[in-house]
Amino acid sequence: MATIMETVRRPQVRQTQCFIGGKWTSSASGKTFETVNPATEEVICEVAEGDKEDVDAAVDAARDAFEAGPWAKMDARDRGILMNKLADLIAEEADELAALETLDNGKPISDARAADIPLVIDCLRYYAGWADKIEGRTIPVRGEYFTYTRREPVGVVGQIIPWNFPALMVAWKWGPALAAGCTIVMKPAEQTPLTCLRMARLAQKAGIPDGVINVIPGYGPTAGDAVVRHPGIDKVAFTGELATAKIIQRNAAETMKRLTFELGGKSPNVIFADADLDSAIEGAHFGLYFNQGQCCCAGSRLFVEERVHDEVIDRLREKNAERRVGDPFDPETQQGPQVDEAQFDKVLQYCEYGKQDGAKMISGGKRVGNRGFFVEPTLFTGVTDTMRIAREEIFGPVLSVLKFKNVDEIIRRSNDTNFGLAAAVWTRDIAKAHRYAAAVRAGTVWINCYDVFDAGAPFGGFKQSGLGRELGEAGLANYTELKTVTVSMS
C-alpha cells in the first residue's frame, strides 16, 4: 500500500517545454518558471517561460497547419477519429494524469479521478462526434438563385485557460476547436501547466498532425498578451477573471478578434422551505466547497427561506466539521489546498471582510496546518446583499448564507448582481421552480441539483459572467465562420 501511494504521489513529469509545430523547445529567452505543489509549497519542476517570440513561432506553425498541412485536407470524419484516439490515450493514462493534476493543482485525487479526467475524455468524445456533422443550409431566396451556407473553421485560435480545472479546460477548448477544423495556440495557467503539456504529447501520439496544437506555457501579461494581440490569431477563447477579460477585450480590439469569455460568478443557490432538505443541504455544501470553492459557478450566495434557516445552518455547520481537509493524495480527502499563495491570501482576506462587514462566522476562517495553502471550510450567516462577501467572487471555501421570505423577493435579490453564470433552486413545487428558472438572469439553472455538467449542455454567462457559450452545439458554433454562397441559376 505504501509503495502504491508513493507512485501515485510522484507522477512523472515528462513535458516541461513549449510545444510548437510538433517539437518540444526551450523558450526563446531561455527563461523558465517554477510550478509549485500547493499542498507542500515545494517546487515540482521548472517549466519553459514562453513569451512573444514563442507565440509568434506557434502562430506560424498553427497557420501553416491550418492552410497547408494535412489538417487542411483531412476529411472531417478522420478528424473525429483522431480526437477519439486522443480520448483513448487519455483513458489509458487516466490514473497518471489524475495524479499529475493533483500534484500541480492540489485537488483531491478522488475528485481528479472521478470527475476531472472522466469529463475530459467524455468532452473529447462528444466533440469527436460533431466533426463530420457541421452542416450548412440551403436558403430559399428570391429570383433565379441557389443560396447555401457553409460552416467553416474560424482559423487559428488562441486559448487562454485558468488553473481551477486545468485538464478539463483543455478539453473544453480543444474539443470544439478540433471538431471545427481550427488550429490552436494554447496558453495554460502559470500555476498549472503540467497536464496540458502531457495532453499535447498524447495528441501527437494520437496522430493529430504537427502544428495543429501548440502550447506556450508562461504568464498572462507576456505570453497571454502576445496571443491576444497577434494579428495571425482569428479568435481568442478565455476562461478566468472578469478584470482580465476586460483587458483582453480592449487589447484584442485592434485586430477585431472573435472573442468568447467564460468568467466568474456570484451564483445564487436558493433553498425554499418546501425542499427536500437532505438533498438541498448536500447540494449547498457540495455546490460551494467542491474543488476548494474554486469554481466559476460556485453557489456562493446561499439564500435560505426564513422558516428553515436555522435548521439549514446547523446542518451545514455539522457537515463542515466532518469535511476532511488535508493531503490531496489521501483517497479519503475531500478538500485540498487553494491553488497558490495569492488565492490563499485572497480567501483569508475575504474572511476578514466578512467579519468587518458584520456577518457572523459560524465555522472556519483559518489556515489548516502550517505548510500548504489549506483553508478551513468557512460559513458566514447574517450576510446581507451589500456586504463584500455577498457581492464579490471569493473563489474559495467560504459560504455566505442569506435569509429570504418569498418568491418575488428572491428573484429580485438573485438578480441583484453584475454576474449571471449559474443559479440553483431547491423546492418540491414545480411551478415555483420553473418560475424562478425563467426569471433568473443566469446561463445555467439547476433545479434540485447542483454542478451537473454535460458536454452536450451549453454553459456560459449572462451579463458580466461571459460572452458566448461553451459545450454543446453552441460551443461549436463559436469556432466557425458562416459563409453564404449564391449561384446564378439562369
Catalytically active residues are 262, 296
The one segment of 1-9, 12-20, 176-184, 219-227 that binds ligand NAI by CB under 6 A: 219-227
> DSSP labels for 410-453?
HHHHHT-SS--SEEEEE-S-HHHHHHHHHHS--SEEEES--S--
Measuring CA to CA, which residue among 483, 484, 480 is closest to residue 157? 480
Pick the closer one to ligand NAI by CB: 151 or 257: 257
Stretch that binds ligand NAI, among 113-121, 224-232, 320-328, 377-385 (CB under 6 A): 224-232
263 binds ligand NAI (CB under 6 A): yes
All three cell numbers of 85, joined, read: 484516439
Minimum CB separation of residue 169 from ligand NAI in Å reads 8
For position 49 contacting ligand NAI by CB under 6 A, the verdict is no
Contact stretch for ligand NAI (CB under 6 A) within 65-73, 236-244, 446-454, 478-486? 236-244
> What are phi and psi for residue 48, nearest 5 degrees?
-55, 130
**In angstroms, what is the minimal distance from the CB of 240 to ligand NAI?**
3
413 near ligand NAI, rule: CB under 6 A? no
Q: Among 296, 312, 383, 455, which residue interacts with ligand NAI (rule: CB under 6 A)?
A: 296
Contacts of 46 (CB under 8 A, 6+ apart): 16, 32, 33, 34, 35
What's the rounded Cα separation, in Å, for the pair 61 and 65? 6
Give the one residue of 54, 122, 190, 210 binding ligand NAI; rule: CB under 6 A: 190
301 binds ligand NAI (CB under 6 A): no
The reply to whether 244 sits near ligand NAI by the rule CB under 6 A is: yes
Stretch that binds ligand NAI, among 33-41, 125-133, 239-247, 253-261 (CB under 6 A): 239-247
Which amino acid belongs to residue 44? I
- Long-range CB pairs of 110-118, under 8 A, 24+ apart, other chains included: 110/331, 110/332, 110/333, 110/334, 111/290, 111/291, 116/165, 116/167, 116/168, 117/90, 117/167, 118/94
- For position 225 contacting ligand NAI by CB under 6 A, the verdict is yes
C-beta of residue 99 within 8 angstroms of C-beta of residue 109: yes
69 near ligand NAI, rule: CB under 6 A: no
Q: Pick one of 50, 153, 240, 328: the residue that binds ligand NAI (CB under 6 A).
A: 240
Site string for ligand NAI, 150-169 (x = CB under 6 A): ----------xxxxx-----
Question: Among 66, 272, 395, 419, which residue interacts with ligand NAI (rule: CB under 6 A)?
Answer: 395
Q: Can you list the pairs that 111-119 forms with residues at least 24 positions away whose Cβ atoms lie under 8 Å?
A: 111/290, 111/291, 116/165, 116/167, 116/168, 117/90, 117/167, 118/94, 119/168, 119/171, 119/453, 119/455
Could you tell me the smallest distance in angstroms from the CB atom of residue 239 to ligand NAI?
A: 5
3-state secondary structure of 148: strand
CA distance 396 to 337: 10
C-alpha to C-alpha distances, 56 to 52, 227, 230, nearest whole angstrom: 6, 8, 8
Q: Which CB sits closer to ligand NAI, 262 or 305?
A: 262
| Apex 393 CA angle, 298 and 308, nearest 5 | 55
| 389 near ligand NAI (CB under 6 A) | no
Residues in the interface with ligand NAI (CB under 6 A) total: 27
Question: Looking at beta carbons only, is 41 or 408 nearer to ligand NAI?
Answer: 41
Q: Which is nearer to ligand NAI, 98 or 422 (CB)?
A: 422
Q: At what angle do helices 94-105 and 117-130 cross, to 10 degrees?
A: 120
Per CB under 6 A, residues contacting ligand NAI are 160-164, 187, 189-190, 219-221, 224-225, 228, 239-241, 244, 247-248, 263-264, 296, 343, 346, 393, 395
